[in-house]
């Protein structure tokens, strides 16, 4: 059964390797949420203004990993950035991604 899902969804994203290769983490939560805890070095660009920041993010010329509290807002941000031609991955919750990064 597991191999069926692996074929369907792929092997999964190696977020640690992405980060080590220079990917930038964008935390799309509100500034207040970000201030209560975040991944060191991540940038806070709330989901409601992500579209305005597309040109700035493109200039970074690096892959992006989006995170939020649960993965829902980071999924919305991923869609917006992907539509703009940015290489982007949904990292889900910031707390979960922090654990994966070690």
What is the C-alpha to C-alpha distance for residues 22 and 60, in angstroms, rounded to an integer?
Answer: 10
Q: What number does CATH give the domain 10-101?
A: 3.40.250.10
pLDDT at 10 over 80: no
Domain regions of the chain by residue span: 10-101
Predicted pLDDT of residue 7: 44
Write out pLDDT tens, residues 12-27: 889 999 999 999 999 9
Identify the CA nearest to 26 among candidates 62, 60, 81, 64.
64
Write out pLDDT tens, residues 51-102: 999 999 999 999 999 999 999 999 999 999 999 999 999 999 999 999 999 8
Predicted pLDDT of residue 6: 42
Residue by residue, DSSP assigns the chain as -HHHHHHHH-S---HHHHHHTT-EEEE-S-HHHHHT---TT-EE--GGGGGGGHHHHHHH-S-EEEEESSSHHHHHHHHHHHHTT--EEEEEEHHHHHHHH-
């Amino acid at each position: 059964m597991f191999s069926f899902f692996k074929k369907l969804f792929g092997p999964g994203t190696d977020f640690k390797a992405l980060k080590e290769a220079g990917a930038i983490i964008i935390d799309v939560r509100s500034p207040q949420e970000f201030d209560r805890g975040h991944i060191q070095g991540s940038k806070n660009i709330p989901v409601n203004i992500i579209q305005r920041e597309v040109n700035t993010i493109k200039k970074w010329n690096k892959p992006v990993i989006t995170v939020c509290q649960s993965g829902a807002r980071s999924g919305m941000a991923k869609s917006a950035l992907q539509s703009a031609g940015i290489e982007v991955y949904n990292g889900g919750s910031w707390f979960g991604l922090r654990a994966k990064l070690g």
